[in-house]
Amino acid sequence: MADDLERASGGSTGATSNTVVSVTGTGTAESAQAICGCPEIGPETIQVEQVLGAEMDQRVVEFDMFVPAEKPDIEQVVDVYVKDLEINNVTIIPDKVIIRGDLEVKVMYVADLPDQPVHAFERRHVRFTRDISIPGAMPDMTAKADVQVEYVDYDFCCHTPRKVHITIVLKFWARVVSTTDMEVLAVTPIDEMGQVEVSTASGSSNDSTAASTFSDDFVSASHYSGYNDQNVYVTGVTPSVGTQPTVSGTATVTGSVVHVRSGPGTNFPIVTKVKKGDTVTIKEQAFGWYRVLLADNTTIGWIASWLLSV
């Protein structure tokens, strides 16, 4: 159940609304098709993506920022913060993923003037590059990446009142998947029918729900021979890159029973489980998942963001 909840979109975990139609009698596959919409038997070819590897790494970005000529000298720095953090390109070379992007830094300071007004200046398009080793990665595979600001610091000296040295630590996540074609069989045709129930559900989280209802494009593959829902998901969406603002604080579990995993995705092993109403502390985020500290103040793992109320 928790695996299904991890795949449900929008964080909807409430009761579903079902409509059940009962049909009695006997019939053939053709009548079954007419009554319940069951497809005739036949092989179908689908594409599945198998996770090759997922790794995390850091990068320190250091540079100097200078006060523009039209602004006064700095007496004291008030704040330094990063905004518009973006990944612009993700490239795979043999055994590595290369992530490129840029960010913007803004400095607020008290001016060295009698009335001590507050001024600000910024630097845009500060570029960064990070390569992450993932053995077996090849250029024809697919990669996704995420990045967040882990630490920001600055150095300012009154002897150089127009310069601030900035230090930023970025944390990167990269995931590489390979695609393969696989044939599956459609539903077995019905030669004779007794009572048939046809159900429609709103917000259902079972394995038969269409892939379009899942926000992260994961569907169960447990019924496919040779694969399982720990390492397979269905293709169909162009890989995206980018980031969301770093979050922190506490969150409440909204799913009934939710898996806590060792990494940000359903391909990672389950560490433990939490129940609806449990409170967790958010440490970081990646790929739409939150890394959290559980109430025991010891266990750390990842929970899908749509199963938490922040």
Quick one: 192 exposed, middle or buried, by C-beta within 10 A (0-12, 13-18, 19+)?
A: exposed
Query: In terms of pLDDT, which residue wins out, 269 or 12?
Result: 269
Give the pLDDT band of residue 222 (cuts 50, 70, 90): very low
Query: 145 falls in which pLDDT band (50, 70, 90)?
Result: very high
Mean pLDDT across the chain? 73
Q: What is the pLDDT of residue 101?
A: 95
**Which two three-digit tokens encode residue 18?**
């079902």
Please classify residue 140 by burial: count the beta carbons closer than 10 Å to its beta carbon, then call 0-12 exposed, 13-18 middle and 19+ buried.
Answer: exposed
Residues pairing with 86 in the sheet: 102
pLDDT at 107 over 60: yes
Number of C-beta neighbours around residue 123 at 10 A:
16
Q: Say which residue the tokens 């019905």 belong to.
A: 190
Residue 3 — very low, low, confident or very high, per pLDDT cuts 50/70/90? low
Indicate whether 237 pLDDT > 70.
no
Confidence of residue 224 (pLDDT cuts 50, 70, 90): very low
Q: Give the pLDDT band of residue 221 (cuts 50, 70, 90).
A: very low
**What is the radius of gyration, based on Cα positions, of the chain?**
26
Is a pLDDT exceeding 90 seen at residue 34?
Answer: no
At 298 the three-state DSSP class reads coil
- pLDDT band of residue 257 (cuts 50, 70, 90) is confident
**CATH numeric code, 249-309:** 2.30.30.40
pLDDT at 118 over 60: yes
Among the ranges 30-34, 186-190, 282-286, which has the highest mean pLDDT value?
A: 282-286
Q: Rounded to whole angstroms, how far apart are CA atoms 218 and 2?
A: 13
Contact between 123 and 110 (Cβ < 8 Å): no
Distance CA 229, CA 304 (A): 15
The confidence score (pLDDT) of residue 24 equals: 43
pTM of the model: 0.54
Q: Mind listing the pLDDT tens digit for each residue in 55-102?
A: 889 999 999 999 999 999 999 999 999 989 999 999 999 999 999 999
In a 13 Å sphere around the CA of 88, the CA atoms on its Cβ side amount to 10
> Average pLDDT in the 266-275 region?
84
Percent of the chain at pLDDT exceeding 90 = 36
Say what the pLDDT of residue 44 is.
79
pLDDT recorded at residue 177: 86
Going from N- to C-terminal start, the domains of the chain cover: 49-181, 249-309
Which positions ≥6 away from 158 have C-beta within 8 Å?
Answer: 75
Q: Is the pLDDT of residue 212 over 70?
A: no
